[in-house]
Amino acid sequence: MGNGKEGRLLVLYGSQTFTAQEIAERIWRKTKVLGFRGPVQAMDDYPISRLIHEEFALFVCATTGQGDEPDNMRRFWKFLLRKNLPNNSLMKLKFGVVGLGDSTYSKFNFVGKKLHKRLLQLGATPLLNIALCDYQHDLGHDAVLMPWLGNFFSTLKSYFPNIQTDTMNNSFVPRWKVSLVKTDSCDNQKNVSEDVYYGKGCRDHFLDSTYLELEKNDRTTDESHFQDVRHIIFKTVDGNPLQYSPGDIFNIRPRNSKEDVDDLFGIFETHNIDIKPYHLLSVEEYHDDMPVPDFLKQPLTLYEVAEQYWDLKAYPTQYFFSLLALISEDKLERDKCIELSSPEGQEDWLNYCRRPRRTVLEVLHDFHKSASKLTIEVLFELLSTIKPRSFSIAGSCLKSEGRRIELLIVVVKYYSKLKKARLGLASNWLKNLNVGDRVYGWIKRGTMKFPQDASIPLILIGPGTGLAPFRNLLQERSIQGTASSDTLHLFFGCRYKNKDFHCRQELEGMVDSGELTLYCAFSRDQENKIYVQHKIAENKDVLWNLLNRGGYIFISGNAKNMPDNVRDAFIEDVISEAGGISLEDAKKMLEDMERNNRLQVETW
């Protein structure tokens, strides 16, 4: 069927937070090395009527919410579901599907699985079975993605005999033609604190961003408490009301700290690399199948790009080291990069990067000889883009008449084996915003869907900042006059009653007015630790009665252990012990509830 030089491989992605897009562009680079051509596009940007003419395609798609497709895949998916499509519509197509998911959710990689099945129904032929990537794996998505891609391209070899799959990573192929307009003036550095992603008119085609002003940024935890939790309120600037419901999400794109940006330019200065903050960026199309994104077509300084485009807090992937090896001229460092990027070097990569949370900047300091070969073109391949962060809206739209957004955010700061504190990019940026600062953000439909019928009992489990979506719901029900302690049951957990009991006065006030039944687990206020699952076990008879009345269960909070512990408590204590049902049947009952959306989970 020819060779790689004549091959077309279409790469389409459905992305919620741009991860799928980033992975699709990585795959494009691999295909380019092999000599393929073919565009990389969001599924909704691709003229789907052309799909019947494609011979080879690779789909990368994320799963969102309760098994929903991403926004920029919806039109594509809706078209594929049309009943009038013949079952041989895609008989010419040979394909692969990469699913990006999170195994803490019951509908793990649901979208990828649905897409794979539908393509089969329309007559397409899979080159491989679907890749089910799991964000929770120690190696992240790459644990499944990297070996799967190797097999995918090996399979393609039967159609394109000239493919040399063992030389895939031996060439550096930039996505765009990137250069600098170098001036002697520092005037271009003015106004760098303004939002350039949205402020200069750039829009992601599936996002409707809103201009907001910070009204409140208060610490809610006691000063002696180890954790800084922020109650943040944004207000609309134009006065136009926003529309959102309990469970909905506020998305925002954070920026790097001045310290990290200065560190990056310090690396350039140390190695006499002529890249200055005030140099202007020029990005042009290199390949007709890799268009320049709108944002990079804007007139930008390098400081703006470093502050608002590159993620300087990211930890480098194995892919990062494979690229660094291509530019390194130091044998020792190059060999180490090759080792850290190899399947055999995964454990070393975990110990060096993932477990201590070493950032890209720290790696560039460690691999200083390789860093001395950095160019602006290389930087655009090495550094990933800042991805939007999602936060549950913690206040009712009715309370502010849609003119405010409330958030409840943990400021991420912890220590690994490295001496310097690990700081979360978004939370620390938000912490340091001042009243009056203006930012762009956008609202998205949340994963949780609360029943409209206020007579249905709701069991809400929200330890820590998992309280956020439930506070939104409780406020709304209170304003509507439908809040009742008979139907609203909230399990809240924290360490200390007097240090990190978020919104205590408000919640206790609802209890006093008969609007809420509240169960609190303060884990460190006594010798034996008490968590929300223990409170669930203590109140198993009450909860079994609520479930028999058609009650729903909602779980919100940290994904590490809490969701599984809560599930176990419902299976073993509530359904089996209080309900007198066998453990096997109790587990099946909870699974059925989750399948029917009577159990919903939102974790991070």
Q: What digits encode the pLDDT tens for the residues 28-74?
A: 888 887 878 888 899 999 999 999 999 999 999 998 877 888 888 99
CA 28, CA 31: separation in Å to the nearest integer? 5
Give pLDDT < 70 ranges for the chain. Answer: 1-6, 163-170, 184-207
CATH 2.40.30.10 fits 210-237+388-444, yes or no: yes
Cβ pair 213, 437 in contact under 8 A:
yes
CA 63, CA 70: separation in Å to the nearest integer? 7
Cα three-residue angle 11-12-17, rounded to 5 degrees:
125
Q: Maximum distance among all alpha carbons in the chain?
A: 79
CA 604, CA 601: separation in Å to the nearest integer? 10
CA 142, CA 317: separation in Å to the nearest integer? 8
Phi, psi of 406 (to 5 degrees): -110, 140
Cα three-residue angle 202-204-209, rounded to 5 degrees:
80
Phi, psi of 80 (to 5 degrees): -60, -25
| DSSP secondary structure letter of residue 385 | B
Domains 176-195+257-382 and 210-237+388-444 fall in the same CATH topology: no
State the pairing for strand pair 210-219/438-444. Answer: antiparallel
How many Cβ atoms are within 10 Å of 374's Cβ, its own excluded?
19
Interacting residues of 37 by C-beta distance below 8 A, sequence separation 6+: 7, 8, 9, 289
Interacting residues of 409 by C-beta distance below 8 A, sequence separation 6+: 229, 230, 232, 391, 427, 430, 431, 465
Segments of 487-590 assigned E as strands:
488-494, 517-522, 552-557
C-alpha distances in angstroms, 170 versus 166, 167, 323, 360, 378? Answer: 9, 6, 9, 22, 15
- Residue 158, pLDDT score: 85
CA 74, CA 64: separation in Å to the nearest integer? 12
CA 566, CA 562: separation in Å to the nearest integer? 6
Cβ pair 465, 502 in contact under 8 A:
yes
Phi, psi of 522 (to 5 degrees): -105, 100
**Burial class of residue 218 (count of CB atoms within 10 Å of its CB; 0-12, 13-18, 19+):** exposed
Look-up of token digits 């669930």: 536
What are the structure tokens assigned to 144, written together? 């499944």
Cβ pair 425, 313 in contact under 8 A:
yes
Cα three-residue angle 251-254-255, rounded to 5 degrees:
165
Segments of 264-330 assigned E as strands:
280-285
CA 275 to mean position of chain CA atoms: 31
348-371 b/e with 16+ CB inside 10 Å = b?
ebeebbbebbbbbbbbbeebeebb
Q: What share of the chain is helix, strand, coil (3-state, %, to 5)?
A: 40, 20, 40
- Residue 4, pLDDT score: 43
State the pTM of this model: 0.88
Helix (H, G, I), strand (E, B) or coil at 56: strand
Of 364, 391, 207, 200, nearest to 281 (Cα)? 200
CA 52, CA 182: separation in Å to the nearest integer? 47
Domain boundaries, the chain: 4-167, 176-195+257-382, 210-237+388-444, 458-603
CA 339, CA 290: separation in Å to the nearest integer? 30
C-alpha distances in angstroms, 453 versus 408, 471, 482, 483? Answer: 27, 18, 10, 11
Cα three-residue angle 443-251-238, rounded to 5 degrees:
55
**Rg of the Cα trace of the chain?**
26
What are the structure tokens assigned to 142, written together? 């790459």
C-alpha distances in angstroms, 358 versus 23, 314, 328, 340, 415? Answer: 21, 8, 20, 14, 11
Phi, psi of 280 (to 5 degrees): -90, 140
| DSSP secondary structure letter of residue 344 | G
Class of domain 176-195+257-382: mainly alpha
Segments of 430-510 assigned E as strands:
438-444, 458-461, 488-494
Which residues on adjacent β-strands are paired with residue 96? 58
CA 328 to mean position of chain CA atoms: 31
- Residue 85, pLDDT score: 93
CATH 3.30.1280.10 fits 458-603, yes or no: no
What are the structure tokens assigned to 203, written together? 């829009």
How many Cβ atoms are within 10 Å of 412's Cβ, its own excluded?
17
Q: At the topology level of CATH, where does 4-167 sit?
A: Rossmann fold (3.40.50)
C-alpha distances in angstroms, 293 versus 58, 60, 247? Answer: 21, 19, 31
Helical residues (DSSP H) of 293-396, grouped into ranges: 302-308, 318-327, 331-340, 346-349, 360-366, 368-371, 376-382
